[in-house]
Chain A
Amino acid sequence: MDSTGKIVIFVLILTSIAAVSLTGLREATLSRSIQNEVVFNKRAILASVGNYLEKSPSQLSDDEVLQIFDEKMEQVVLNMTGEVQEGIKAEDVDLAKERKKPEEERMLPLYVYNSDKGKFYILSVRGNGLWDEIWGTIALKDDKKTIAGASFDHKGETPGLGAEIKDNPTFAVQFEGKQIYSNAGDYTGVVVRKGKAQDKTFEVDGITGATVTSNGVTEMLVRGIAYYKPYLDKI
């Protein structure tokens, strides 16, 4: 048997080495990983207007992504009644944190992309998948009724099933051209239909075997787009 003293000293040495080496490495790589994260998020936002960019978002270099944001992207922050908040940029609003607040106190990031092909409103939405959170960006055309594009991501959905919302490019492509208002003019959002879409104007095909994630996307879109309605109806 080892003495208690030896065990305590061993554990202290082991954990100190672990703590010092990991802290040192984290400090050394922090600025780079933050920069990567920022560019990654901006690239995801651009993915929703991917059809209207000169290059596909995955081919843009990091600098080009930042340049588009500097030159063509207008950043607006809204509250839940649709009033513009001054002195804050959309990229500083973290929807994950906003979701934890009571509904009426939340802030909404809105990006307005001014390109030579028109004006696009890029909304950010967030909801629950099967295992963890899912989120996405939805671009609306100038009429504020037609979806121009969408991109989705997730924290821990199953590869091959729920993770297809991000991994399979044909899923997000389905949203292009969908209407968020019914023919009678009522707000409906977009429905991800289990199996196949019934009405191609308002619905997209679900992912086989991932019903919970598909329903999560529907819920996220219907609720998330509605949050922006007070502002979109005003302008």
Chain B
Amino acid sequence: MAETLVKEQKVAQVPKVSEPIFGQKERKLLLDPLTDNNPITVQVLGVCSALAVTSLVAPSVVMAIAVTAVTALSSLVTSMVRNYIPKSVRMIAQLVIVAVLVTIVELVLKAYNFTIYKQLSVYIGLIITNCIVMGRLEAFAMANKPWRSFIDGIGNGLGYGAILIVVGIIRELLGKGTLVGVPIIGASNEQVSYFINTAAESGFGSFFSWYANNNLMVLPTAAMFIVAIMIWIQRSRSPKLIDIS
């Protein structure tokens, strides 16, 4: 009787000893969303904002940072209180947590960095409704420990951001001939309106002076095509993602 009790206690203590802070599992959580488990191209979450904000590089970067921060922090908080959340109201509870975090960021920016606040204001609503945030809370944070949920949130935010920035670069370069507002390619002609063509006076860009901006690239439709092509390439290259059903 006494012997079995001791044995049980020993068994219970074993797993606690061998858990590194950043081991194989955490690495996988952080890097998987960048490739095989990308929120946009594989999970197909957050596509709406990926179409809406990617016409220029700068807003894409801002959105990527904002979503990464919100996904990571809300995963952390949700995971900390996950055992107290009644199952029938869990989604409402998650929504409250996300909304509170986003509003805190908004209020602090409004008081201490008004310029960034003004730039972000259009996107703040888009962050709360971003499917990735709720999706990761439901799929991961509700069933895992805080630290891992935090890593998972960062990983998914980065995976989302990587796609956003790539789409943003393609669209701004081909649609406006600029990158972050700096003219790169396009005709060098002062008579031509800025909005139709951009001038690249010298250097690398002058080789592409024949290029006329593709106005389709500025429209959200272009993002749809670019994201679809990315999904196509990724799925045909990665054996894990090939659907055999």
Binding site for B on A (CB under 8 A): 1-2, 6-7, 10-11, 14-15, 18, 21-22, 25-26, 29, 32-33, 36-37, 39-40, 156, 158-161, 163-164, 168, 170-171, 195-196, 205-209
Contact = CB atoms under 8 A, between A and B. Distances in A.
Closest 10 CB pairs of A and B: A160-B55, A29-B111, A2-B86, A36-B114, A32-B111, A33-B110, A205-B193, A170-B194, A7-B86, A18-B100
B219 A209 contact: yes
B226 to A, nearest CB: 14
A160 B218 CA distance: 7
B89 A11 contact: yes
Contact of B88 (A2, A15, A22): A2
A194 to B, nearest CB: 11
A196 B193 contact: yes
Interface of B: 52-53, 55-56, 59, 84-89, 92-93, 96, 99-100, 103-104, 107-108, 110-112, 114, 117-118, 122, 171-172, 175-176, 193-196, 213, 215, 218-220
Most buried by A among B85, B86, B175, B196: B86
B196 A36 contact: no
Most buried by A among B104, B107, B194: B194
Given A33-B114, A156-B122, 14 more contacts: A1-B88, A11-B92, A11-B93, A26-B107, A29-B107, A29-B112, A33-B111, A36-B117, A37-B114, A158-B220, A205-B195, A206-B195, A208-B213, A208-B218
B4 to A, nearest CB: 34
A139 to B, nearest CB: 22
Contacts of A25: 104, 107-108
Given A29-B110, A29-B111, A161 B194 contact: no
A163 B120 CA distance: 13
Contacts of A205: 193-196
The A interface, classified by DSSP as helix, strand, loop or mixed, is: helix
Nearest to A196: B193
A50 B108 CA distance: 30
A2 B87 contact: yes
B194 A160 contact: no
A170 B104 CA distance: 35
Most buried by B among A170, A196, A209: A209
Contacts of B107: 22, 25-26, 29, 33
Contacts of A29: 107-108, 110-112
Contacts of A170: 194
B93 A18 contact: no
Given A33-B111, A208-B218, A6 B86 contact: yes
B114 A40 contact: yes
24 contacts: A1-B88, A2-B86, A10-B85, A10-B86, A11-B93, A14-B93, A15-B96, A18-B96, A22-B103, A22-B107, A25-B108, A29-B112, A32-B111, A32-B112, A156-B122, A159-B55, A160-B175, A161-B218, A168-B194, A168-B195, A195-B193, A195-B196, A205-B194, A209-B219
A159 B114 contact: no
Contacts of B111: 29, 32-33, 36
Contacts of B215: 208-209
A159 B56 contact: yes
B141 to A, nearest CB: 16
Contacts of A2: 86-88
